[in-house]
Amino acid sequence: MTNALDRLAATIEARKSAAPDESWTARLLAAGPEKCAEKFGEEAVEAIIEATKGDRDRLTAEAADVLYHLLVMLAARDVSLADVLAELARREGTSGLDEKAARQ
Ligand SMILES: N=c1c2ncn([C@@H]3O[C@H](COP(=O)(O)OP(=O)(O)OP(=O)(O)O)[C@@H](O)[C@H]3O)c2ncn1[C@@H]1O[C@H](COP(=O)(O)O)[C@@H](O)[C@H]1O
């Protein structure tokens, strides 16, 4: 059984071969990775604004936009949701402080 995020990632992957006039995702992917990254940034800023205001429903909606646009940006660079989940799994059981030290 798949969850909504898995299904969304599969839909986005399938849109790589869809016509841009039939799908928003296909249009975004056709515009290139830089445009996908720009849209992700815009949606992230909108989520930040709602987080500072404190309206739960609006933040929830913006967070959904952020997740969608994150997956589109990753797909544009051929990074899969499975790749990201594997990286998160790798970090399980380690302290965030250890991870921070490893990056320095
Ligand atoms: N989750 C989403 C989703 N979230 C947001 N968006 C679209 O993202 C677009 C950008 O949002 P904006 O607020 O920036 O809208 P905008 O003002 O029209 O954009 P700009 O003119 O400012 O560039 C909007 O057109 C939204 O409809 C989404 N489009 C698609 N999905 C999912 O992707 C699936 C496939 O969609 P299609 O590829 O369109 O078939 C859908 O079934 C959904 O599950």
pLDDT at residue 67 greater than cutoff 90: yes
Q: Which domain holds residue 96?
A: 4-102
Mean of pLDDT over the chain: 94
* Residue 65's CATH number: 1.10.287.1080
**Any atom of ligand 1 within 6 Å of the Cβ of 8:** yes
**Complex prediction ipTM:** 0.87
Residue with CA nearest ligand 1 atom 18? 24
Phi-psi region of 2 (alpha: psi -120 to 50; beta: other; left: phi over 0): beta
Structure tokens at 58: 């609006």
Query: Which among 22, 68, 71 is the best mutation to test ligand 1's pocket, defined by most ligand atoms within 8 Å of the CB?
Result: 68
Helices then strands (H, E): number in the chain?
Answer: 6, 0
- Report which of residues 101 and 15 the model is more confident about: 15
Contact 27, 15 (CB under 8 A): no
Number of domains in the chain: 1
Task: Work out the pLDDT band at 76, boundaries 50, 70, 90.
Answer: very high
Residue with tokens 């997740």: 67
DSSP 3-38: -HHHHHHHHHHHGGGS-TTT-HHHHHHHH-HHHHHH
